[in-house]
Structure 1
Amino acid sequence: MTTTAPTAWQQAADALVQDLRGKGAVRTDAVARALREVPRHLFVSGHYGPGGFTAVDPEQPTPETLAIVYSDRGLTTHVPDDTSGTSSSTSQPSIVAKMLEAADLHPGMDVLEIGAGTGWNSALIAHITGGPVTAVEHSEPVATEARAALERAAVPGVRVHTGDGYLGYPSNGYFDRIIVTCGIAGIPPAWLDQLTPNGMILAPLAHGGVHPLTRVYAPGPGGTPTGRLVTMADFMTAAGPLYGGRPVPPSSRGSYLPVPAGRVAGPFPGGLDRDAFADLCMFLAGHDPRVTCAASEDGTYGGCAVVTEDETAGVFVQPDGLYSAGSDAETAALVRTTADRAAAWDVSGRPPLIAWSCSMQLAGPSSDPLLVPGRWHIAE
């Protein structure tokens, strides 16, 4: 009996899966097999980096290309200034793996993906389910590239349509899962109408200045849709009514605040690794809509911040403590409130991010409303 030695890309894919298992992103054999057997490099024909755009041959990748593609990093494949007219990427593999695990996919499921990107995620879903996958992509050039990549990788059962993901894909019938791969402000009511009775939406839903993955379930008769946090994440924001122009407070996401003078004196929860820090930030966001993602004017501080009412100052929340970005009375009061809430999180046993649920309420214009988080609470 003879065996064929694994190719360079198969070796790289196997190393990536081992890395993701070590990080806890891959938990099941089905997800591991998909990541090993669907060649990610066939879905990347170029990517942006510090030096600009680098074109690559997906069918003849160099060792350097394989090292980049099979590392745990997201790759920006389009920016608004190029021919696509939009931002697009192939997401970080650890986030992709967490999404696939959270989606709880099973053979035969019918899945709708909002945001096709390169087509890699659709291919992974199809590998796990063996069922039909329908992807809706806003940009025609991006959709065209995704179709070409799926053909290149010989992935059956995936259809990529160009259109506004806000509408879902009503002509299909009902979906067991709707998986969203772009940051959105809320859930269109039409998506709930397109779910099977036991269906579920998995979406990066705007909250706390980022887009944590959230499961949204269809309600029973007369019920209210609910969401449940799954893991910390952040995504490129969607185009059109899924995000554009939506009043998602605070509006200071990505803006710059004054440079802090130093760490604020006083007690603060210690021993915060990456996961525990995410738990703390979501606890703060669950209690205060002013929590966002910001940076200092000099770029020294960034990430979780709680901003003042006018959103020109605030307090940066870092793993080692609080840093005041302002010197007025309002900022000082915000520091005290944030310190008290951090202490409350610690005293209450450091509830994890996944403990948080939200009720969904209808908001926005009647022409294209969204179901947005109305109230966050720690689930029973």
Structure 2
Amino acid sequence: MTPHTLPAVRGGAVTAHGAGQPPQALAEFVHPGDRVLTVGPGTAPLQLAGWTGQPVTSVHTTLADVEVIRAALGPHGRAAGTVDATVGELFDGRPDAGLFDVVLVTAAVPGLSPRWLDQLAPGGVIVAPVALGGLHLWTACGHDHVKADGLLYGSVLAAGLPAVGPPSAPGERFAVTQSGPPVERLSCPTWAPQWAGVTPPRLTPEGYVDLWAWLATRDDRITAARTDGTEWGPGCALVVGHSAVHVRPDGLWLSDTQPATLALAQVVAEDVQEWGRQHRPAATELTCRLGRRPDAGPDELVTAAGWTTHRPVQVSRPAKKEEPQ
């Protein structure tokens, strides 16, 4: 059974959590004159309005989020219409405002709302923190203009560690916070000497995120876990039922030494070693395909699949040509 690591879709809406500030690489996709939509919490619309020189449209789940934007704009910015901020359903975007060149999502989501795609102008890009294995993978989603095959791809721009956040309440349509996705709480693990040194020595925090992302692409049972009785976490763990294998910079820590748990540890160890054999690919080398099942309903998310470091993808936005004088 896969632990509850990802937000869920309930009643056509995404249960999402705040994912922090967008990565610097977002600047590669936003050009002067672009029409931009932001979906979710935060003050990114203010910066994007400065980049584009155009009013930015945004949708938030609470009036408090909208008031943060309005207060930061000040009287002049509000009068100038620098940001058109409103309360609404994040899943719906802003169908009243036309098509957008860039849609920036600031809530960690398990996939893209088809309505965001409907509101995307030709050649446009959605940048969103797609949840994978408990991580936020900031992903540029769009068409590969070199392949020109009409398929939708994702290319990771940055990856961040999750923060501890409360799980969504039953039936809650949206739970947007700044804290991050739910984190599995597990009992204190046991040091198993035979698994010492499985993870590479001198693993940096960035390298740990890279390894975590790699493991999550190879096994959908990878999740974010915080261990009771320790200061760890949230960290990477493979969890099946009551068995858990924690991936730590100093090795693998096991929930117990039962045969089932030892078997899981062997799986993790082999995947860690493969990461090393592949020259420790970074999370930003990951790409994915995006799509829906053929029988998907109209409100089913467009989800990522086929995460790999072996598929060259160039999701980009050429600068707009200047209009002749």
Q: Which TM-score band (shorter chain)? A: 0.7 to 0.9
Tell me the residue number matched to 2:138.
Answer: 213
- Report deviation, 1:134: 0.3
| CA distance in 2 between partners of 1:192 and 1:223 (Å) | 14
Counterpart selection for 2:183 from 251, 254, 260: 254
Flag the 1:87–1:184 CA change in 2: closer, same or farther, 3 A.
closer
For 1:266-281, what aligned pairs fall within 5 Å after superposition? Answer: 266-281=197-212
- Report deviation, 1:87: 10
Tell me the residue number matched to 1:31.
Answer: none
Q: Give the length in aligned residue pairs.
A: 281
Tell me the residue number matched to 2:216.
Answer: 285
| CA distance in 1 between partners of 2:300 and 2:283 (Å) | 27
- Report deviation, 1:346: 0.6
Matched, 1:224 2:147: no
Alignment root-mean-square deviation, CA:
3.2
Give 1:196's aligned amino acid.
A
Residue 268 of structure 1 aligns to a residue in which SS? Answer: coil
**Quick check: 2:133–2:220 contact (8 Å CA) kept in 1?**
yes
| CA distance in 1 between partners of 2:17 and 2:237 (Å) | 29
**Quick check: 2:167–2:182 contact (8 Å CA) kept in 1?**
no
Counterpart selection for 2:57 from 134, 142, 145: 134
- Report deviation, 1:369: 0.8
Matched, 1:332 2:262: yes
Q: More helix by proportion, 1 or 2?
A: 1
Flag the 1:354–1:108 CA change in 2: closer, same or farther, 3 A.
same
Residue 176 of structure 1 aligns to a residue in which SS? Answer: strand
| CA distance in 1 between partners of 2:184 and 2:303 (Å) | 23
The structure showing larger relative contact order (alpha-carbon pairs under 8 Å, at least 6 residues apart) is 2
- Report deviation, 1:99: 5.7
- Report deviation, 1:327: 2.5
| CA distance in 1 between partners of 2:257 and 2:94 (Å) | 51
Tell me the residue number matched to 1:344.
Answer: 274
Residue 276 of structure 1 aligns to a residue in which SS? Answer: helix
Matched, 1:372 2:303: yes
Q: Deviations over 1:316-345 (max 9, x none)?
A: 112222211232222111111111111111
Tell me the residue number matched to 1:304.
Answer: 235
- Report deviation, 1:258: 2.3
Give 2:158's aligned amino acid.
T
Flag the 1:267–1:87 CA change in 2: closer, same or farther, 3 A.
closer
Counterpart selection for 2:88 from 163, 179, 192: 163
Q: TM-score, normalised by structure 2?
A: 0.76
Tell me the residue number matched to 1:83.
Answer: none
**Quick check: 1:202–1:214 contact (8 Å CA) kept in 2?**
yes
Give 1:333's aligned amino acid.
A
| CA distance in 2 between partners of 1:377 and 1:97 (Å) | 21
| CA distance in 2 between partners of 1:238 and 1:180 (Å) | 20
Counterpart selection for 2:37 from 112, 127, 133: 112
**Quick check: 1:212–1:229 contact (8 Å CA) kept in 2?**
yes
**Quick check: 1:126–1:158 contact (8 Å CA) kept in 2?**
yes
Flag the 1:346–1:219 CA change in 2: closer, same or farther, 3 A.
closer
Tell me the residue number matched to 1:67.
Answer: none
**Quick check: 1:301–1:316 contact (8 Å CA) kept in 2?**
no
Matched, 1:143 2:66: yes
| CA distance in 2 between partners of 1:90 and 1:339 (Å) | 30
Counterpart selection for 2:125 from 200, 208, 212: 200
Flag the 1:161–1:296 CA change in 2: closer, same or farther, 3 A.
same
